[in-house]
Amino acid sequence: MNAQRIHYAATAALLFCAVLVAVASGYRAQAVHSQAVRVTELAREQQLRVMRLAVLASREDAVSHAELRAELRRLGDGERELYGDDPEVAGLLAEPAAARILPSDRGVLRTQAEDFARILAAARPEGRPLADAELAAVQDAAVNALSDGYDAVARAAHAVDKAEQEHSGRMLYAAFLAVAAILLYQFFVVVRPLIQAAEDDRRELSQARAELDAWVGRDNLTGLSSRRHLEEVLRREVEYVRRYGTKLAAVALDVDRFARVNAVLGQVGGDDVLQALAGLLGQDLGQDELLSRFSGDKFILLAPHVGGATAVLRAESLRGRAAEATFDKGVRVTLSCGVAECRKDDDLESFLARLDKALHQAQQAGDLTVAL
């Protein structure tokens, strides 16, 4: 038992670790994905700002000049957000997948953006547009340098996200394999021996059942199973209920006022009635059913694999069959029937006691009564 507990504890700990690794990996992948989406959006916005600035630089009106100043401020804010002190953004762009795309000096793009902003601010101090040559240079810097640089940032963020998702997938797959291996270990080291032990017990019980069935005790008068044999079989069936949760029911049948039968027919005639009644009740027994003369004029029908409700129907059938029969000198008899279903906490004595109590209730209620 101690070894089993150690196995269970070790299995639980390993399963917990595997699940924890999977959850942590999934959480990190989700966090990286959210950050990558944020960086990608920032980089694309910076690309658009550069293009808008190039267009605004070619216009002469005051409104365009004001828009240019506002757009320059937004460009600076975006640069600070991308290359500021945010540790999450810095950590994302420092990942190996990003380093393969971005230049080794990550400050180059920021410097280019600052130079670009200074050129625009200095070239239009009074709202005058840039000269054609200046404008061409600015546009060339914007399109070829800054736009490409921000595109590289976006691609780097996407590459980091993809790499993290692939890593998370590998971790989840590894966790799945670990769980499968743990469960296989649990089966072969812990569960399988338990199953084998249960099979051995079942085999021993089957062998014992066969040995008991080979020795069939018979009642001398009726030829039915004797009380001793019934108790041996019943003890075994009760054990099946306790260990495996199978169903078991029993019906106790008692001849009402049998003393009157003896008074009319005598002792020998009463025995003849019991013999005939035993043959009548023993007709059409189920494969697993066992009918026994328990004592005097009391019979017990044992019904394995049957619940209480079904046993009540069986008792009603037997009671009706006996009530329709006519014996020597026109004697007719009725039966009182008690039915009990075995519980998992029953033993032989408690089950028979409940069966006897049900029979007593039927007798108290009157002839032709079945009590559960």
pLDDT confidence of residue 2: 62
User: What integer pLDDT is reported at residue 58 of this predicted model?
Assistant: 65
Write down the pLDDT at residue 34. Answer: 76
The pLDDT of residue 300 is: 95
Which pair of structure tokens corresponds to residue 229?
């044999």
Do 43 and 154 contact (CB within 8 A), yes or no? yes
Specify the pTM.
0.44
Backbone angle region of 175, left / alpha / beta, with phi > 0 → left and psi within -120 to 50 → alpha: alpha
Q: Cα separations (Å) of 214 from 60, 209, 221, 243, 322?
A: 115, 8, 21, 24, 30
SS (H, E, C) the chain: CHHHHHHHHHHHHHHHHHHHHHHHHHHHHHHHHHHHHHHHHHHHHHHHHHHHHHHHCCCCCHHHHHHHHHHHHHHHHHHHHHHCCCHHHHHHHCCHHHHCCCCCCCHHHHHHHHHHHHHHHHHCCCCCCCCHHHHHHHHHHHHHHHHHHHHHHHHHHHHHHHHHHHHHHHHHHHHHHHHHHHHHHHHHHHHHHHHHHHHHHHHHHHHHHHHHHHCCCECCCCCCECHHHHHHHHHHHHHHHHHHCCCEEEEEEEECCHHHHHHHHHHHHHHHHHHHHHHHHCCCCCCCCEEEEEECCEEEEEEECCCHHHHHHHHHHHHHHHHHCCCHHHCCCCEEEEEEECCCCCCHHHHHHHHHHHHHHHHHHCCCCEEC
For CA atoms 36, 42, 43, 48, give the dihedral sign. positive
In the chain, domain spans? 2-187, 215-371
What is the spatial distance between Cα 116 and Cα 47, in angstroms, rounded to a whole number? Answer: 13
Question: Which CA distances in Å does 246 have to 63, 123, 242, 355?
Answer: 91, 95, 8, 18
Architecture of the structural domain at 215-371: 2-Layer Sandwich (3.30)
What is the separation of C-alpha 197 from the centre of its chain, rounded to a whole number of angstroms?
Answer: 26
pLDDT average per 10 residues of sequence, the chain (372 residues): 64 73 76 77 76 70 67 74 68 70 63 66 54 58 65 75 78 76 72 75 72 63 87 92 92 92 90 93 88 91 92 92 88 92 93 93 73 58
Count of Cβ atoms closer than 10 Å to residue 198 Cβ: 12
What pLDDT is recorded for position 313? Answer: 92
- Residue 337 in contact with residue 359, Cβ under 8 Å? yes
Whole-Å CA distances, 310 to 247, 304, 343, 350: 11, 11, 16, 21
Angle between helices 308-324 and 258-281 (to 10 degrees): 110
Can you tell me which residue has the tokens 């130079």? Answer: 115
Distance in angstroms (rounded) separating the CA atoms of residues 107 and 98? 14
How high is the pLDDT of residue 214? Answer: 47
pLDDT, residue 337, reads 93
